[in-house]
Structure 1
Amino acid sequence: MQTPPPKSNCKSILTCLLVFLFFQVFTGTLDAQEWAKKMFATLEHDFGTVAKDSMQEFRFEFTNLYKEELHISAVRASCGCTIPTAEQDIVKTFEKGTILATYNTKAFAGARGATVTVTFDKPYFAEVQLQVNGFIRTDLAFSPASLAFGEFSLTDKPRMEFNVSHAGNTDWMITDVRSKNAYYEVEIIERTQLVNQVGYKMAVQLKGNIPVGYLQDDLIIVTNDVANQEIKLPVSGKVSAPVTLSPSSLLLGITSPETEINKRLILRADEPFTIESLTCDYPGVTFRTGSEAKKIHIVPVTFNAGLSPQKIQATITAKVNLNGEIILKCPLSATVE
């Protein structure tokens, strides 16, 4: 007759089994989080130093890199200083989604930060943490709270006036205005000084070199305040062009190696124009264009999947000439497997 193993050995085996199962579940959870994190272009944003009551927003962009449709079941913030919104709760394969983080400068002041948690329940459960930080100054105010230009054409070059006021030291001065992009011409119209208050009336004009699409940027107001030298003023708008490109994106789906896919792009305007160049940062895309000026250009596009399985995220760039150079962009995506 076979003798049963000692109880101590049974306990050891059971303990090892439980530890193994724990690490399997724990590792699976980590893998799920990494799967979701890969979709986001960035996981953190610093609003910098901003004025009280100013409009501060940032969009965390993500791309569905997978075959299955995504569903966002919830978004939440660890602090009321940030209000998160899922602008699309369902995101299909290769489509983009955004999580809008609104920094609550009306109700809060000083150094504030929050963790925004995005919860996916389809195709698998996962949570992604996004970090938001900033510093809200109560002695500064912008009027209007942000430079919202709305929708405008490249040829409009819109101009907007705004006011900056500072309460406190009357030696406070604006020394420069900067931006990450050379889209703006800024001028100081006048500086006023009252008891314990300094005010500036300023103007910004947009140049003609802004790319077509949504504008989300900041003017950085540089001051002589050593402790808080820079303050951000948000700039937003939607730039439309006299030339349109359709479709707005080429979603080629799932294909096999060595496959060739033929599509077309349509460029359209009210006046005749020429195509100077069409390029793609994925080398397997070619175009057939003409040199004549006309109102509608129908351009054949050939996509070659290549030899190896891969996920392709690329951008098509069109440079056209209609009373000056205009740049249009079209995202391209495909999965080769």
Structure 2
Amino acid sequence: MLRYTLSIATVLALSYAAQAGPEDFFSEKEKDFGNVPHGSQQVHYFQIKNTSNETWVISSVGVSCGCTSASANTSTIKPGQTAVVTAVMNTRVFSGYRQVTVHVNFISPQPAYVGLLVKAVSRDDLMIFPETLNFGQVAHGTSKTVKTQVSLTTDPNWTIQSATSGSTYIKPEFKLLRRENNEVVYEISATVADNLPAGKWFSEINFSSAGSNLSKFRLPVNIEVTPSASVDTTGLKSKEEKNKDEAKITSTSNKVNLVSLAASPSQVSFGELKVGGTMEQKILVQSEKPFKITQIEKVDGVEVTGDLNQSKTIHIVTLKFTAEKSGEVASKVNIKTDAGKDQSIQIPIKAVIKD
């Protein structure tokens, strides 16, 4: 009887071993974001596909560091179904290298554990604005190009050498905009092909570069391709009606262009500091057209420096915070410009000072 019982146990164990388990469900278990701007949010989607013949249930998703949050879009994954574990890394709360473990625990049909890794190097000398190449909605059958700017403020010889797209549907390009003092600025553009199938797509572009200690970085790409709109042939508009429509489009476009002043990051948290401690944070202030910073209003405990009265599309403003006395700090830095309608921008700042 004992031998028979052991034989059954052995068969069951071998049966479980032969089946795919949670470790096999993940298409990848590690994501290296590489060099990223300090203050940015890095997001990655870990894909899960249940390739077994049993329903698996996630009991919990946790992280090893408060700088990262993680969640699953569903707890129950039936055979053949897919799920996603989303990890969001907040680089505002750390500088330099950080590695975080995402703990994914399963409870059924048997207890199981999968550890996922996310890591990044948070740098305050790297600026990307906007931080994502976001195409928004694109109608199938049409092409679209989006742009961003990348700045490095610590090496005048830094040079981007190549750009590699994670998708054949995305064509990346880059060009040098300027070298001033220690700052180097590149414009990055990406064009989506008109034959990309309908759906939501996430990809990235990887760059290799020379100079400094920044040999590579990446840019996330988000696209939602909608089905082609059908053409209404029930009637033709008159020339006068078409002219009115064009005038409406032009008017709307002009209104949008007026609201162009933005900052990245839009708010600054210096975290916890001891009395007498200092910390710096760089901010990108950008507009579609060249503009000047005319005035930066003083804030107690914050030294703010920038290129006043220089006309350019991107300004780098440095905030140096000094912890003067214990307590919570909540204030705003007001930056005034000559950038058309929206002439000023406010940057909320927070800090906790301890003895």
Tell me if both proteins adopt one fold, taking TM over 0.5 as the criterion. yes
- Would the alpha carbon gap of residues 177 and 35 (structure 1) be closer, same or farther in structure 2, given more than 3 Å must change? closer
Structure 2: unaligned runs, 5 residues or longer: 1-5, 232-355
Q: Which residue is equivalent to 2:125?
A: 139
Map 1:229-268 → 2, pairs under 5 A: 229-242=215-228
Amino acid corresponding to residue 44 of structure 1 in structure 2: E
Name the % identity.
29
Q: Which residue is equivalent to 1:290?
A: none
Amino acid corresponding to residue 155 of structure 2 in structure 1: N
- Would the alpha carbon gap of residues 156 and 138 (structure 1) be closer, same or farther in structure 2, given more than 3 Å must change? same
- Would the alpha carbon gap of residues 225 and 189 (structure 1) be closer, same or farther in structure 2, given more than 3 Å must change? closer
State the shift of 1:209 in Å: 4.3
In 2: Cα distance, 1:222 partner to 1:54 partner: 20
Structure 1: unaligned runs, 5 residues or longer: 1-19, 243-268, 272-337
State the shift of 1:112 in Å: 1.4
2:58 to 72, 78, 93: 72
Amino acid corresponding to residue 164 of structure 2 in structure 1: R
- State which drifts further: 91-100 or 60-69: 60-69
- Count of aligned positions: 221
In 2: Cα distance, 1:210 partner to 1:46 partner: 27
Q: Which residue is equivalent to 2:177?
A: 191
Q: Which residue is equivalent to 2:190?
A: 204
1:151 to 108, 114, 137: 137
State the shift of 1:99 in Å: 0.4
Q: Which residue is equivalent to 2:31?
A: 45
Q: Which residue is equivalent to 2:276?
A: none
Q: Which residue is equivalent to 1:60?
A: 46
State the secondary structure of the residue aligned to 1:38.
helix
- Would the alpha carbon gap of residues 175 and 41 (structure 1) be closer, same or farther in structure 2, given more than 3 Å must change? closer
In 1: Cα distance, 2:114 partner to 2:20 partner: 9
In 2: Cα distance, 1:113 partner to 1:122 partner: 29
Q: Which residue is equivalent to 2:91?
A: 105
2:103 to 108, 117, 121: 117
**Contact 2:158/2:209 (<8 A) preserved:** yes
- Would the alpha carbon gap of residues 33 and 128 (structure 1) be closer, same or farther in structure 2, given more than 3 Å must change? farther
Q: Which residue is equivalent to 2:157?
A: 171
- Would the alpha carbon gap of residues 39 and 110 (structure 1) be closer, same or farther in structure 2, given more than 3 Å must change? same
**Contact 1:32/1:126 (<8 A) preserved:** no
In 2: Cα distance, 1:31 partner to 1:115 partner: 25
State the shift of 1:98 in Å: 0.7
Deviation per CA, 1:67-107: give whole Å up to 9, x if none.
44332221111123432111222223321001011222222
2:74 to 84, 88, 92: 88
In 2: Cα distance, 1:117 partner to 1:188 partner: 38
**Contact 1:52/1:105 (<8 A) preserved:** yes
Amino acid corresponding to residue 116 of structure 2 in structure 1: L
Q: Which residue is equivalent to 2:213?
A: 227
- Would the alpha carbon gap of residues 156 and 133 (structure 1) be closer, same or farther in structure 2, given more than 3 Å must change? same
Amino acid corresponding to residue 180 of structure 2 in structure 1: L
In 2: Cα distance, 1:187 partner to 1:61 partner: 29
State the secondary structure of the residue aligned to 1:53.
coil
Deviation per CA, 1:220-254: give whole Å up to 9, x if none.
23322263211111111222344xxxxxxxxxxxx
Q: Which residue is equivalent to 1:252?
A: none
Amino acid corresponding to residue 109 of structure 2 in structure 1: P
- Would the alpha carbon gap of residues 187 and 80 (structure 1) be closer, same or farther in structure 2, given more than 3 Å must change? same
In 1: Cα distance, 2:38 partner to 2:164 partner: 20
**Contact 1:55/1:234 (<8 A) preserved:** no
Q: Aligned Cα RMSD in Å? A: 3.1
Alignment TM-score, normalising by the size of structure 2: 0.55
Deviation per CA, 1:116-170: give whole Å up to 9, x if none.
1111223322211112233232211110111122232232312212111111122
State the shift of 1:57 in Å: 1.7
**Contact 2:30/2:118 (<8 A) preserved:** yes
In 2: Cα distance, 1:238 partner to 1:180 partner: 16
- State which drifts further: 84-93 or 176-185: 176-185
